[in-house]
């Protein structure tokens, strides 16, 4: 980069123009086209005249590498690009259908939870990012298992950078898992109450559709009582096995027809309470192996 002040002035000008667009309409192509447009304007009127108009002190011009770098940085700043996930897996010889979701189940499913979540995030994220999230969560779904199968034991790990969209990604995964028939989902957050509370709010907005008795997020886009997920935790309250005000005492996975979710802290006592609660209700069907984290 020849001159940081010249570079930043031009980049800010382009950034301000692009920010006027709706995120849902913004794409990599828009960024490349706008950078190219400014580059051609400067070439046409001469850098000297452009420098005078913009009151740029430096006399150094940008080179081709500077323009390419600007495109990449604007893509990152405006979050219009999300790299595809990378999958590492063993042979999983016991699995007959490794694409049970993307090849069959997804197309045969109503996708109630995913469709309303996709509609919700499409107003806030560029189309390319939403499409990438759809593709990545499909890969994860294929890597777990069809919940309609009687017995399976699948474990995995999804890793993402800080501020890379992990919460949005696993919220989308929750929606697809619920669409596929998973009934009990536990989200384990960091060890602080404020982190757990923030995550609960995001899950309420993207999956549950309610906070207390008020519709929020996806609940405002499509609410059906007989499909509304049931949360065992609240925006301001973690799981508590002794909480008589919470309806957890009456939940039965054998009879409930909607997905059940809980958002808990990564805390050994909370985990002990959850395990004890599950054991007390399903002594005959839950083994110690099932509860290993």
* Parallel/antiparallel/unpaired status of strands 260-264 and 230-231: parallel
Tens digits of residue pLDDT in 7-18: 888 988 898 898
Instruction: Say what the pLDDT of residue 35 is.
Output: 94
pLDDT of 122 above 90: no
Of 18, 16, 159, 158, nearest to 80 by C-alpha is: 18
pLDDT of 65 above 80: yes
Instruction: Say what the pLDDT of residue 162 is.
Output: 62
Of 263, 287, 260, nearest to 177 by C-alpha is: 260
Q: Among 161-170, 214-223, 258-267, which stretch is predicted with the lowest mean pLDDT? A: 161-170
Q: 251's torsion region: left (phi>0), alpha (psi -120 to 50) or beta?
A: beta
Residue 194 pLDDT level (bands cut at 50, 70, 90): confident
Instruction: Say what the pLDDT of residue 288 is.
Output: 52
Region 246-269: what's the mean pLDDT?
79
Region 108-133: what's the mean pLDDT?
90
pLDDT of 127 above 90: no
Instruction: Say what the pLDDT of residue 277 is.
Output: 82
pLDDT of 78 above 70: yes
* Parallel/antiparallel/unpaired status of strands 210-211 and 214-215: antiparallel
Give the contacts of 283 (CB within 8 A, at least 6 positions apart).
Answer: none
pLDDT of 2 above 50: no
State CA 107 to chain mean position distance.
Answer: 21
Give the C-alpha distances (Å, rounded to integers) separating 213 from 119, 132, 204, 218, 234.
Answer: 22, 33, 11, 14, 11
DSSP states of the chain as a string? ---HHHHHHHHHHHHHHHHTS-GGG--HHHHHHHHHHHHHHHHHH-HHHHHHHHT----PPP-HHHHHHHHHHHHHHHT---PPP-------TT-S-TTHIIIIIHHHS--HHHHHHHHHHHTTS-HHHHHHHHHHHHHHHHHS--TTSS-----------TTSSHHHHHHHHHHHHHHHT--EEEEE--SSHHHHHHHHHHHIIIII-EETTEE-GGGGT---GGG--EESSBTTB---TT-TTSGGGG--TTT--S-EEEEE-S-HHHHHHHHHHHHHH-TTT--TGGG--
CA-CA distance, 5 to 23, in Å (whole number)?
27
Region 219-224: what's the mean pLDDT?
88
Higher pLDDT, 2 or 142: 142
Q: Among 73-77, 101-105, 248-252, which stretch is predicted with the lowest mean pLDDT? A: 248-252
pLDDT of 146 above 50: yes
Structure tokens at 1: 């980069």
Give the C-alpha distances (Å, rounded to integers) separating 99 from 7, 160, 165, 177.
Answer: 47, 23, 24, 14
Higher pLDDT, 204 or 246: 204
Structure tokens at 29: 């192509």
pTM above 0.85, yes or no: no
Q: What is the mean pLDDT of the chain?
A: 83
Q: How many CA atoms lie within 13 A of 167 on its CB side?
A: 18
Give the C-alpha distances (Å, rounded to integers) separating 171 from 114, 134, 165, 284.
Answer: 9, 11, 10, 31
Residue 1 pLDDT level (bands cut at 50, 70, 90): very low
Region 118-145: what's the mean pLDDT?
89
Tens digits of residue pLDDT in 151-176: 888 888 888 766 667 888 999 999 99
Is residue 248 within 8 Å of residue 232, measured between CB atoms? yes
Residue 61 pLDDT level (bands cut at 50, 70, 90): confident
Region 244-265: what's the mean pLDDT?
75
Instruction: Say what the pLDDT of residue 289 is.
Output: 45
């Amino acid at each position: 980069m020849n001159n940081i002040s010249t570079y930043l002035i031009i980049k800010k000008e382009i950034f301000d123009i692009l920010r006027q667009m709706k995120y849902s309409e913004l794409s990599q192509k828009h960024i490349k086209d706008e950078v190219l447009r400014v580059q051609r304007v400067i070439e046409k009127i001469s850098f000297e005249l452009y420098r005078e108009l913009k009151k740029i002190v430096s006399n150094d011009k940008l080179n081709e590498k500077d323009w390419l770098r600007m495109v990449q940085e604007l893509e990152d700043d405006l979050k219009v690009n999300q790299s595809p996930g990378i999958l590492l897996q063993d042979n999983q010889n016991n699995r007959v259908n490794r694409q049970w979701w993307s090849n069959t189940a997804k197309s045969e499913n109503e996708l109630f939870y995913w469709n309303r979540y996709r509609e919700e995030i499409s107003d806030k994220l560029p189309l390319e990012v939403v499409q990438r999230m759809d593709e990545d969560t499909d890969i994860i779904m294929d890597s777990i298992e069809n919940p309609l199968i009687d017995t399976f034991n699948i474990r995995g790990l999804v890793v993402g950078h800080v501020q890379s969209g992990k919460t949005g990604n696993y919220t989308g995964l929750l929606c697809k898992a619920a669409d596929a028939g998973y009934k009990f989902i536990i989200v384990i957050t960091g060890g602080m109450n404020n982190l757990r509370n923030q995550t609960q709010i995001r899950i309420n907005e993207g999956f549950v559709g309610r906070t207390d008795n008020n519709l929020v997020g996806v609940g405002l886009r499509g609410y059906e009582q007989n499909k509304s997920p049931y949360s065992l935790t609240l925006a301001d309250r973690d799981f508590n096995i002794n909480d008589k005000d919470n309806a957890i005492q009456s939940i039965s996975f054998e009879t409930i027809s909607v997905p059940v979710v809980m958002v808990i802290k990564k805390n050994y006592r909370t985990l002990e309470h959850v395990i004890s609660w599950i054991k007390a209700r399903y002594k005959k069907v839950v083994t110690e192996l099932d509860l290993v984290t």
